[in-house]
């Protein structure tokens, strides 16, 4: 009895069990900080071991987490000898998360001895941990670091799978008509995230398995906001009418943005100092995130297009991929990390742009949050990862959408046709590249042209909507309070 009384007097404790993707860890870490610093919770991250180094993720968590947030790293899982030889890395990661569940159970048992543990938050492919959460009488939540449209697609995927099977389609890209997703604009199968396009892959089957288990959750938390994706969020409330079955409560609590301070190194300081000297709204920021790169041919066209636009720019330059693709995912085989990205730029480009004060080039990484929030930034050429989109929206910056992989094709469709705050470049039919003339035209239009005027206006409107959603009585703030109250009122069970 004494232990129970002592436990009830403690702060409610939340455990987060994430996948290793940086695009997932960043909003989860911000969510954890908000719980601890604003709502008087305690939080532990339990990180699965995938049998390979996750140095960047560990470095991020160690440097960005307050000391009040505990980070535990699980031991390696049993060898994954039964993983199919043709499985992609996503299949390996999802399987490793499932194999980590016994180690997760051991960690939860230890935490129950010293904390008032009330809820387990998992990633979109972490539902195999729900049985363990039930053993400890923990509430089970899924955190979706994606847009509501992505969640709608995942919830509807089993129904879409049945339809594709009935019509004999093994691959969604073979379906000729746009595919309807509840509450969202229709998209083509070619715009599905790569791992969900082919119904016969091992990874696709794992996603079907996990999405069918979403109804086991006590709630789903989404890093988006009601005013941005009202159609999708309203469709979630129609239990079963879309054919996807009854859904748990869904809570939009975004936008959650990274609050990591500027590093203070010379390159970061130079970026902001250079921006301070530019006219308001005059600079295009060009960056493809932490894992996007271009071919040598496309890199050259982008450089010359930026120069031809005669608009100011900051460009985060990354060494080109070796495989010749116009846009690929960053991986160890495609890029030599010892290369200097500037060595791949067109001859004389650096000297011409520096001499004219036109642009600032940065190697591999720049303080994106600070750049997008700076008054001199007037546009963002982006790969359209969801975190980057939210950072752009919050700061009222219109975009040139340049998707490379993953769900970025779907995001681009939203940005151009639903939100209407982005241009999309047209590719040449002959070589599949975006030509320098096209780039120059879109940059000029986005920054100061009449064609970009509606985009700039819409960006300002969405900036206000995002600020309203996260204000004290806004939709996202109210949604978060609902979850907080459920967690604080939950009675835990000591084993």
> Choosing from 123, 128, 218, 242, which is the catalytic residue?
123
Strand ranges in 136-291 using DSSP code E only, listed in sequence order: 139-144, 219-222, 250-252, 283-287
**Which phi and psi (to 5°) does residue 197 adopt?**
-75, -40
CA distances from 330 to 62, 327, 337 (A): 23, 9, 11
Report the alpha-carbon distance of residue 235 to residue 159 in Å, rounded. 15
Q: Is the peptide bond before 15 cis (omega within 30 degrees of 0)?
A: no
3-class DSSP assignment, residue 267: helix
The Cα-based distances of 39 to 13, 93, 335, 415 in angstroms read 11, 32, 43, 33
d(Cα 491, Cα 139) in Å, to the nearest integer? Answer: 10
- Is residue 316 helix, strand or coil? strand
The total of other beta-carbon atoms located within 10 Å of residue 388's CB is 23
Is 174 catalytic? The answer is: no
Residue found by looking up tokens 């980057």 in the block: 388
Inter-CA distances, 133 with 106, 109, 212, Å: 12, 10, 18
Helix, strand or coil for residue 314? strand
Helix (H, G, I), strand (E, B) or coil at 86: coil
Alpha-carbon dihedral sign for residues 209, 239, 162, 174: negative
- Annotation marks residue 24 as catalytic: yes
Given 13, 24, 374, 383, which residue is catalytic?
24
Question: Which candidate, 97, 41, 466, places its Cα nearest to that of 31?
Answer: 41
- Positions annotated as catalytic residues are 24, 123
């Amino acid at each position: 009895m004494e232990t129970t009384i002592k436990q009830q007097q403690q702060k409610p404790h939340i455990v987060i069990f994430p996948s290793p993707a940086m695009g997932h860890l960043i909003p989860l870490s911000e969510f954890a900080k908000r719980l601890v610093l604003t709502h008087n919770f305690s939080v532990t991250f339990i990180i699965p071991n995938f049998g390979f180094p996750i140095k960047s993720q560990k470095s991020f968590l160690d440097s960005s987490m307050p000391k009040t947030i505990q980070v535990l790293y699980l031991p390696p899982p049993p060898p994954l000898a039964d993983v199919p030889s043709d499985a992609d890395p996503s299949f390996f990661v999802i399987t490793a998360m499932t194999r980590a569940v016994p180690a997760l159970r051991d960690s939860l048992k230890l935490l129950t001895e010293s904390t008032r543990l009330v809820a387990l938050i998992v990633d979109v492919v972490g539902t195999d941990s729900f049985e363990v959460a039930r053993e400890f009488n923990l509430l089970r939540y899924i955190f979706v670091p994606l847009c509501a449209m992505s969640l709608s697609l995942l919830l509807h995927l089993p129904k879409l799978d049945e339809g594709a099977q009935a019509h004999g389609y093994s691959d969604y890209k073979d379906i000729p008509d746009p595919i309807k997703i509840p509450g969202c604009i229709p998209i083509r199968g070619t715009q599905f995230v790569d791992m969900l396009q082919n119904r016969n892959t091992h990874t696709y089957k794992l996603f079907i398995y996990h999405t069918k288990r979403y109804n086991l959750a006590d709630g789903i938390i989404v890093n988006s906001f009601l005013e941005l994706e009202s159609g999708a969020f309203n469709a979630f409330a129609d239990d079963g009418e879309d054919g996807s079955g009854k859904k748990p409560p869904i809570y939009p609590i975004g936008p959650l943005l990274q609050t990591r301070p500027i590093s203070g190194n010379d390159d970061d300081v130079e970026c902001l100092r250079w921006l301070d000297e530019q006219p308001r709204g005059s600079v295009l920021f060009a960056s493809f995130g932490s894992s996007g790169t271009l071919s040598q041919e496309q890199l050259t066209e982008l450089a010359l297009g930026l120069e031809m636009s005669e608009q100011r720019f900051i460009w985060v330059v990354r060494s080109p991929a070796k495989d010749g693709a116009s846009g690929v995912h960053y991986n160890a085989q495609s890029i030599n990390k010892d290369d200097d990205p500037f060595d791949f730029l067109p001859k004389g480009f650096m000297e011409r742009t520096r001499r004219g004060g036109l642009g600032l080039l940065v190697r591999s990484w720049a303080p994106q949050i600070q750049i997008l929030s700076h008054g001199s930034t007037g546009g963002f050429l982006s790969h359209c990862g969801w975190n980057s989109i939210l950072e752009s929206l919050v700061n009222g910056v219109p975009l040139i959408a340049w998707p490379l992989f993953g769900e970025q094709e779907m995001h681009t469709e939203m940005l151009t046709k639903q939100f209407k705050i982005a241009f999309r470049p047209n590719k040449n039919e002959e070589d599949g590249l975006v030509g320098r003339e096209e780039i120059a035209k879109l940059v000029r239009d986005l920054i100061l042209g009449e064609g970009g005027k509606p985009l700039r206006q819409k960006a300002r409107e969405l900036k206000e909507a995002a600020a309203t959603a996260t204000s004290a009585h806004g939709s996202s703030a109210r949604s978060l309070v609902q979850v907080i109250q459920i967690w604080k009122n939950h009675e835990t069970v000591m084993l």
